[in-house]
Chains A and B, each alone.
Chain A
Amino acid sequence: MAEYKGVMIYCEIVEGSLLSITYEVLGCSRKLADDLGQELCAVLVGSEIGDLAQEVISCGADKVYVVDDLLLKAYQTDAYVSVMEKVVGQVMPQILVLGQTSVGRDMAPMLAFRLDTLATLDCVELTIDPDTKLLMQTKPVCGGNALATYTCDSYPQIVTVRDKVMTPSESDSSKQGEIITLDAGLDLSAIRTRLLKKIKDEEEGVKLEDAQVIVSGGRGIGNAEGFEQLQELAALVKGAVGASRPPCDNRWIAPSRQVGITGKIVSPDLYIAIGLSGSIQHLSGCGQSKSIIAINNDAEASIFKYADFGVVGDWKKVLPTFTDKLKELLLE
């Protein structure tokens, strides 16, 4: 397999800008490429995206492949997988790194099976084995109860990395690199899945993934009205509302508000967990918060093992006075 060489990353673009996780993917992949003594190349796929290439070079890529086509305006599985299949086939990297986002989760396994290789999703640590030079891929399994490290000797080794875990690369505009434009060459008959429409959630205030304070509710909130009270507190502290899985499954709140391994990974300064027991899957998503406050009527709830401050009691009675008193104190 000597012909496979170098590290490749897939850069995710949202509304004309690089998604923040792309900088983290660049950061960890640059290190992998250096450890291997090989090149780092990046792939940009989309429509009217050429001007992002220089930024990717500033952040550490030696080469950028740009695939720009009107048909690639929005992510669609078949179109993007076939583009990546072509680029990987041409460049033949040893390693391909993507972000663990909606796109990465969808594309990485599909692409891996298309290329008849293996993928590991949701990695929290990536290193090069000094002896075999294989990629050591560490990911949480069993909902986060264990950390497994895998290697695989099938190339390219495909991985996605978890959001907010890797150190992002810093931009240095003096860096030089090569920009290569590739033709998408899409075979329309191979595009079977079609995006009909996208319904974006209305974002009130700060985005969940960027918020410094998150007010999060669990099963104990009980209904959509309960989340309005959480919204009130979130507005007061200029934070965002999050949730564990059950409220999203029951549509008390939009599914995109879910924090945890099947939702978003967050790391705010303060995470206020209300009526939320703290399953390991949820804690995987919020355990990196600097501080955690928990309000729950079950003293045995695992969230208290992670919390810095806690109140054992009915949130419906605790929250109103908490919000009122806080309003008073913050005004002072």
Chain B
Amino acid sequence: MRIIVCIKQVPDPTSSSSGTTVDPEAKRVIVPQGTPPVMNPYDENALEAALKIKDLQEATVTVISAGKNLAKPVLRKSLASGADELILLDAAAFDKLDSYATAHLLAAAIRQIGEYDLILCGRQAADTDAAQVGSGIAEILKIPGITAACKVETVNNKVVVERVVSDGIEEVEAPMPAMVTVSSELGELRYPGVKEVMAAQRTPITVRKAQDLEIDISQLKKPSLVTLAAPPGRKAECQFVECETPEDAGAELAKRVTEAKLL
């Protein structure tokens, strides 16, 4: 079985969550200096889904990432965690692609790979939050697509998925090849051991340039970004309840909240 996992490199969303600003002139988000690039957390969940399948059966896991100046050490983590192969689509033209272009680019690269059974993607990227690439790949390759998975299993050439919906969990199946997007409820990516990290250093990485792919990104339709603005802030002046002990603070908070008629 061959599983392809699509991984985006993003600025670490945990370290950039405070201090991120917007430059409306340049229409750019500015993350705090020193924010390291990481694998998109939801894509890590997708890789974990692939590795869970590989735990149970013979499987080859191929990771694909697209972008400009991709950080090999960051993406090599996928190999250390258990992926077998890493393909980087690295070109200036692949910088900050929208989801339409990304889906077409990844689909072209997947076609080049040829045979596959399952494509796994994160449900969305932490920087753009567009949440469309996985579904786009499925439609372009004309294979079934299932979104927001919290469990992915393969049985008799079918993929059986538990997906998170607003009032519970749905169990859905589709014949393979299929595409599944994975949500965080599936679980975090496993930690690689020191031996695996060392071994991953020696695994060769395949790098493909724009001319290696049978697609011209510049010819695709694309959305235009009209404005980029900082969100309106919520104005709140927090009244801190301070007491001798936390127990007293709890009781005092109850008093203050009822006085303010919040309850």
Is A321 a contact of B251 with CB atoms below 8 Å?
A: yes
Which residue of the partner chain, among B129, B138, B144, contacts A122 with CB atoms under 8 Å?
A: B129
Does B199 have its Cβ within 8 Å of any Cβ on chain A? no
Which one of A113, A145, A199, A311 contacts B250 once the chains associate, using CB atoms below 8 Å?
Answer: A311
Residues of B within 8 A of A196 (CB): 160, 171-173
- Of B29, B127, B169, the most chain A CB neighbours within 10 A belong to B169
List of A residues within 8 angstroms of B131 by Cβ: 105, 109, 121-122
Instruction: Please state if B128 and A141 are interface contacts (CB–CB under 8 Å).
Output: yes
B5 vs chain A, min Cβ distance (A): 19
- A212 vs chain B, min Cβ distance (A): 10
Chain B residues whose CB sits within 8 angstroms of the CB of A193 once the complex forms: 144-146, 172-174
> Does A249 touch B at the CB level, under 8 Å?
yes
Tally of A-B Cβ pairs under 8 angstroms:
276
A249-B175 Cα distance, complex, nearest whole Å: 27
Checking A102, A121, A203, A309 against B148 with a beta-carbon cut-off of 8 angstroms, the contacting residue is: A102
Q: A148-B228, A150-B224, A317-B246 are in contact. Are A201 and B167 (CB under 8 A)?
A: yes
A107 to B187, CA, bound (A): 25
CB of B124 within 8 Å of the partner chain: yes
Size of the B side of the interface (Cβ < 8 Å), in residues, is 85
8 Å CB contacts to A: which residues of B214-245?
Answer: 221-231, 234, 236-242, 245
A16 within 8 A of B: no
Give the chain B neighbours of A308 by CB distance below 8 A.
Answer: 236-239, 260, 262
Q: Is the CB of B17 within 8 A of A249?
A: no
Q: Tell me if A310 and B171 are in contact (CB < 8 A).
A: no
- Of the candidates B150, B238, B242, which one forms a contact with A304 in the assembled complex, judged by CB atoms under 8 Å apart? B238
Residues of A within 8 A of B178 (CB): 192
Q: Is A4 an interface residue (CB 8 A)?
A: no
- Check if A119 is an interface residue, CB within 8 A of chain B: yes
How far apart are the CA atoms of A311 and B255 in the complex, in Å? 13
Q: CB < 8 Å: which of B99, B167, B187 contacts A249?
A: B187
In the assembled complex, the CB of A312 is this many whole angstroms from the nearest CB of chain B, namely 7
Are the CB atoms of B29 and A146 closer together than 8 Å?
A: yes
Segment at the B interface, from A33-41, A90-98, A288-296: A288-296
Chain A residues within an 8 Å CB radius of B103? 113
Judge whether A113 and B135 touch: CB under 8 Å: yes
Cα of A314 to Cα of B247 in the assembled complex, Å:
9
Asked if B170 is an interface residue, CB under 8 A from chain A, the answer is yes
Cβ B239 vs Cβ A309 within 8 A: yes
Given A77-B145, A198-B169, A321-B248, does the pair A136, B254 have CB atoms closer than 8 Å? no
Instruction: Using known A-B contacts A106-B148, A200-B168, A329-B254, determine if residue A318 contacts B226 with beta carbons closer than 8 Å.
Output: no
Q: Chain B residues near A292: list those with CB within 8 A.
A: 236
Docked-complex contact B231 and A149, CB < 8 angstroms: no
Point out the residue from A114, A139, A149, A310 that lies within 8 Å of B139, measured CB to CB.
Answer: A114
Please tell me if the beta carbons of B249 and A293 are within 8 angstroms of each other in the complex: no
Give complex CA distance A144, B64 in Å: 27
Which A residue's beta carbon lies closest to that of B22? A146
0 or 1 for each of A169-195: is its CB under 8 Å from B? (1 = yes):
000000000000000000000001111
CB of B100 within 8 A of chain A?
yes
In the complex the two chains form, what is the Cα distance from A101 to B178 in whole Å?
23
Q: A141-B129, A280-B20, A322-B253 are in contact. List 6 more A-B contacts (CB 8 A).
A: A145-B230, A193-B172, A194-B172, A213-B263, A320-B250, A326-B263
Report, nearest first, the 9 A-B pairs whose CB atoms are least far apart.
A321-B250, A113-B139, A325-B254, A313-B246, A322-B250, A317-B246, A109-B132, A192-B144, A109-B135
Q: List 22 A-B contacts (CB under 8 A).
A: A109-B136, A113-B138, A118-B98, A141-B128, A146-B230, A147-B229, A149-B225, A195-B171, A197-B170, A198-B165, A198-B171, A199-B170, A213-B263, A269-B262, A302-B18, A311-B241, A311-B253, A312-B240, A317-B246, A317-B247, A321-B254, A322-B250
